[in-house]
Amino acid sequence: MISLVGEQVTCLVRGPMGTGKSSILKTLAKQFPDHVPCYFDGTTKDLGDMMYPKIATFSETGEEYATFLPNEEFGLHTGKPVILMIDEIGKMFAPVRNACMRVMQERILGSKKVNGFVFATTNLSSENLGDVIMAHQNDRMTEIVITGPTNEEWVEDFAIPNGLEASLIKWAVDNPQLFHSPEMYKDFKDNEFIPHPSSPHKHHCTPRSMHRADHWLKVRDKLTSKQLMAALLGTLGPKGAADLHTHIMISGAGASSGIC
């Protein structure tokens, strides 16, 4: 959708955490190799990070005045069309989000034209992660709400093509609830695998965290059972860690019995 109208319309991609919203930039970069992919991280920016002052001289009078140079993350210095992703726009410092409004609507930053695609990402409001976008800001974008993959989609479209561990893939196949939306459950206890807003845990099963768990499984022959469990706890949370750990031990593909 962004590839069709993204040069004229700013799409706001809103979706659950860890479902690959930011990876859209890489996908578009492959589709449009003549464009420069630009990642603007909204969570780290203050208003002064947008543009920087520069003293210029008006040729007709010789009088000096202030102009502004855009941050290199916008890619405007390259002279090429860009694919600009404004990531985590809902968590931006409010004045920075205001400063982005003209980019969203007119494709202009200061006095410079932004040529190429522009889109933004943010989390679902129901996740209670502090994402706030005012109505007049939303009115400058087309909001597209995405859902996370099903277990079958994750396995077929991501896990197998990227060579993830067979034990992790089998676990995902056997447990479709790993990929359920929190909105399906009133209480986190009904599905403790996933990041429900009422969950007291810091870590849960998301497509992103399961990819990270794959790295630990690939080195489990160098870990003790306790070490592997500790790594999975800090990646998937208590429910996911315990369930996956049990799964790989029962399957006979567990950790080393020695000390690494």
pLDDT for 239-249, tens place per residue? Answer: 999 999 999 88
Position 256 confidence tier, pLDDT thresholds 50, 70, 90:
low
> Mind listing the domains of the chain with CATH numbers?
2-145 (3.40.50.300), 151-250 (no CATH)
Residue pLDDT, tens place only, 28-43? 999 999 999 999 999 9
pLDDT band (50, 70, 90) for residue 56: confident
Residue 88 confidence (pLDDT): 94
Q: What is the per-residue pLDDT for 255?
A: 55
180 contacts 191 by C-beta, under 8 angstroms: yes
Answer whether 36's CB lies under 8 Å from 72's CB: no
pLDDT tens digits, one per residue of 166-184:
999 999 999 999 999 988 9
